Amino acid sequence: MAYTANFSLEGKIALVTGASYGIGYAIAKGMARAGAKIVFNDIKEEFVERGLASYKADGIDATGYVCDVTDEDAVNAMVAKIEEEIGVIDILVNNAGIIKRIPMIDMKASEFRAVIDVDLNAPFIVSKAVIPSMIKKGAGKIINICSMMSEFGRETVSAYASAKGGLKMLTRNIASEYGKYNIQCNGIGPGYIATPQTAPLREPQADGSKHPFDSFITDTKTPAGRWGDPEDLAGPAVFLASGASDFVNGQILYVDGGIQAYFGKQP
Ligand code: NAP
Ligand code: GCO
């Protein structure tokens, strides 16, 4: 048997949350290419439909559900429906996420709570919903999409950094509590990736020049000298979803073009 068979996801069912587009979509596409059956959700029917059309165009027979990942009853109902219609979820990717870029002292508590709800409470809710069947099945893979902000702060992202820092520790705790059931829970920490979420940071200036943050990322902070593409995350996700990573547990795999290793371009 070719060694690459260890990276196969044939016969596995993968739920990727918030995967109509962006990072979730790229991860789901990579997992489909490795043989997984893709199931995804989005908060709006129109986005689920749009996602299904994209998957179909890419030759992927995905199944989509409308579900707000912060709504525990809706998540439990979705997981029960998936188990009834498709089968037990072997791989969960907690990808759905939001960010609000507001200086902390200007941020309303409700805005802070909204980010924590999607980026931290929801991975707890969805993981809690899928783990019992993984225990019964005797195996499972959970991948939490963390962030550079699981390690660093910066201006205006207090809620997001708090959530993603918490998600790193939730990842480690799930690994600790459920590793004995052959469930591996790891994180992926993307660097700066070109998606709708970061579009405001790449918006060209009125005079057509690069956004200062765009230059900051490409010219000062990232050794690769570029923004990441969502596709850059697919291979690491397939690895963490496959049998090749069965003894990897509680780790955050940073896919950041070298940002974390780099002090920053010297003057
Ligand atoms: P994105 O383009 O904003 O996509 C986020 C996805 O999550 C959308 O499909 C969105 O659906 C969905 N979503 C949001 N709230 C939801 C909810 N309550 N229930 C269900 N779905 C919900 O973001 P992205 O850049 O692809 O990021 C995906 C993940 O990677 C996020 O967790 C993000 O924090 C993380 N990340 C991103 C970067 C980056 O540089 N882009 C770097 C590190 C980590 P709607 O369109 O319906 O809102
Ligand atoms: C920001 C960006 C980042 C990225 C990502 C980096 O405003 O700083 O949105 O937070 O989304 O999380 O890893």
pLDDT at 3: 83
Q: Residue 122 is encoded by which pair of tokens?
A: 């929801």
User: Chain-centre distance of CA 109, in angstroms?
Assistant: 25
What confidence score (pLDDT) does residue 44 get? 94
Strand-pairing partners, residue 140, are 183
Active-site residue, 65 included = no
Per-residue pLDDT for 1 more than 80?
A: no
Instruction: For residue 150, report the distance from its CA to the centre of ligand 2, in Å.
Output: 10
Instruction: Give the pLDDT score at 45.
Output: 97
Residue 157 CA, closest ligand 2 atom number: 7
Closest alpha carbon to 195 in 107, 261, 98, 64: 98
User: What is the percent of the chain with per-residue pLDDT over 90, rounded to a whole number?
Assistant: 98
Confidence at residue 216, expressed as pLDDT on a 0 to 100 scale: 97
What is the per-residue pLDDT for 87? 98
- Collect all residues with Cβ–Cβ distance below 8 Å to 28 and sequence separation of at least 6: 14, 16, 19, 38, 40, 55, 60, 62, 93
Instruction: Identify which of 262, 250, 142, 241 has the alpha carbon closest to the alpha carbon of residue 191.
Output: 262
CA dist 69 and 78 (Å) reads 10
Which residue among 55, 160, 178, 192 is the active-site one? 160
Each residue of 81-107: pLDDT tens digit?
A: 999 999 999 999 999 999 999 999 999
Using the predicted structure, report yes or no on whether residue 187 has a pLDDT greater than 80: yes
- At residue 24, the pLDDT reads 98
Q: Is the pLDDT reported for residue 4 higher than 90?
A: no
Mind listing the domains of the chain with CATH numbers? 3-194+228-261 (3.40.50.720)
Cα separation of 162 and 247, whole Å? 28
pLDDT digit string (tens) for 223-232?
A: 999 999 999 9
Q: What share of the chain is helix, strand, coil (3-state, %, to 5)?
A: 50, 15, 35
> pLDDT per residue over 142-183, tens digit each?
999 999 999 999 999 999 999 999 999 999 999 999 999 999
Torsion angle (degrees, nearest 10) of CA 13, 128, 120, 54: 20
Task: Say if ligand 1 is within 6 A of residue 69 CB.
Answer: yes
Ligand 2 atom closest to 198 (CA): 9
pLDDT at residue 66 in the model:
98
Q: Whose CA is nearest to atom 2 of ligand 2?
A: 198
C-beta of 94 in contact with ligand 1 (< 6 A): no
Which pLDDT value is given to residue 215? 98
Q: Give me the chain's average pLDDT, please.
A: 98
Select from 79, 95, 164 the residue to mutate for testing ligand 1; criterion: most ligand atoms less than 8 Å from CB: 95
Which pLDDT band holds residue 2 (cuts at 50, 70, 90)? confident
CA gap 117, 99 in Å, rounded = 11
Whether the pLDDT of residue 114 is over 80: the answer is: yes
pLDDT band at 139, cuts 50/70/90? very high
